[in-house]
Structure 1
Amino acid sequence: MGAVLGDVLGFAAGVAVSPLPIIAVILILATPRGRLNGTVFTVGWILGLSVLGAVMLAIASPAGASAHKHPATWVGALKLALGLFLVVFGARQWSRRPKNPSQAKLPKWMGTIDRLTPVKVFGLGTALAALNAKNAPLTIAAGAAIGSAGLPVGQEVVSLAIFVVIASLGMLVPLGVFLLGGQRARATLGNWKDWAAQHSVAVMAVLFFVLGLKLLGDGVSILAS
């Protein structure tokens, strides 16, 4: 189990530092219903990661490991494909990063966050976790890594839960600061939001390029063994 956790912690960290969801939860917390909507958004995020990871785990577990507990060939092919996607995506993001970070613009949909109902906020959190092109490949890769390791079901569930918790720190930390930080919380979260908005493209480009290379290496190793 320890080896699997070492494999998926990088993916979890990659999901946790996704700038756009972090900016979204901070903006939600700044709305009049911030306490409720921030909690609902975080719950939706956790559910989205859990469902996507569980689906991939269910797919990978029955046929993911050989008799010698080596990942199956299709797992290597999946990691190779995901790694290629992330490398290309990261390189593309890097080429499109603003030359001046202060000129970075947030997506237009973020301007409507203060008008979203709790139901829509929940759906937004779920979508950003499970359907986002930046986070979904990492969650799929983590589910495949856990499912293909030949672990007992209980250890698979624990491994996935640890992945989800770590991958949700980007939501849980701002929420905790808001709930426990008192009057200074808004200023602190505002500074975090500004930094993430200015550097989100560059951060994600480097992150996905590095994780993509790791997945490429894992895929080649599995296919060559």
Structure 2
Amino acid sequence: MVLDLVIIGLAINLGPLHNSAFILLLSTPRGVRKGLAFVLAWLGCLVLVLAAVILLTGGKPPAPRSAPSTAALALKLALGIGMVVYAERKRRRGSRPRRSPKWLSRLDNASLWTAAGLGVVLQPWGLVAAGAATVVQAHLSSIGSYVALFVFCLLATSGLLAMLLYATFRPVEARARLGALRDWTESHQDQAIVTLSLLAGLWLVAKSLYQLV
């Protein structure tokens, strides 16, 4: 479970779309407050998903080869195949000139509630679902198990937290450097999406097939 959650958490953390939107949000008026609302909503979603899974399973994995166990593995397999197919289709289309979505230009006037809503909408829900399916199969009987869940949430949020703290304590320097990071992210967005989707998808497919067989 631990290795799966680490890989999924890193893939969530490195997603270019939410990182680019978050950097732009930080550059707006009251950007730090909006960024905090975004992070709290983002983290809250992860915690709620994990809490729902734990309540559903009682912290005990379903019996091997049982219907719930097979369903969880089938979900991970389907998500992995979907990511691989998506990555390959995007790779074949190649990089194209990209225009920023119109809604990004409206972030200057975004409220704290709008910022929080973005933290929910921009979650890479496919990867979050893969993390939830992984937790379904986990035996949460020790402190180490819950530490693994904490590390997963921390990994998935660490990039956002780092940028938020940077913008809070070094606002002038952060504006310039995070702006450069956003430019680089947008210019390499397609490559990043293809790479992350392919690697995460192949891992999920390989691990799910191994456990199913």
TM-score, L = length of structure 1:
0.85
Q: Check whether the contact 1:56–1:140 (CA below 8 A) recurs between aligned residues.
A: no
- Opposite residue 120 of structure 1, the aligned amino acid is T
Partners of 2:62 and 2:133 in 1: how far apart? 10
1:204 maps to 193
Aligned residues: 211
Which of 52, 55, 69 is residue 55 of structure 1 equivalent to? 52
Offset, 1:59: 4.1
1:193 alignment partner, SS class: helix
- 1:43 equivalent to 2:40? Answer yes
Distance between the aligned counterparts of 2:24 and 2:59, measured in 1? 42
Pick one of 98, 104, 109 that aligns with 1:104.
Answer: 98
Deviations for 1:109-160, whole angstroms, at most 9, x for unmatched residues?
Answer: 111111111111111112212xxxxx11211212221230223175544322
- Report what 1:95 is aligned to: 92
Contact 2:10 2:156 survives alignment (8 Å): yes
1:62-95 per-residue CA deviation (whole Å, 9 max, x = no partner) reads 6733279xx9222221111111111111112223
Cα distance between partner residues in 2 of 1:25 and 1:97: 25
The 3 A distance-change label for structure 1 pair 43 and 209 is same
Contact 1:46 1:168 in 2 (8 A): yes
Specify every segment of 5 or more residues in structure 2 that has no aligned partner in the other structure, as ranges: none
Shift of 1:60: 5.2
Match of 2:10 among 8, 13, 28: 13
Work out the CA distance in 1 between the residues paired with 2:45 and 2:175: 27
Alpha carbon RMSD of aligned pairs, Å? Answer: 2.2
CA distance in 2, matches of 1:187, 1:14: 26
One-letter identity of the residue aligned with 1:184: E
Cα drift, residue 192 of structure 1: 0.6
Task: Within 5 Å, give how 1:172-191 maps onto structure 2.
Answer: 172-191=161-180
Hey, what does 2:26 align to over in structure 1?
29
Identity %: 29
- Superposition deviation, residue 35 in structure 1: 1.7
Aligned amino acid, residue 193 of structure 2 = M
Runs of 5+ consecutive residues of structure 1 not aligned to the other structure = 130-134
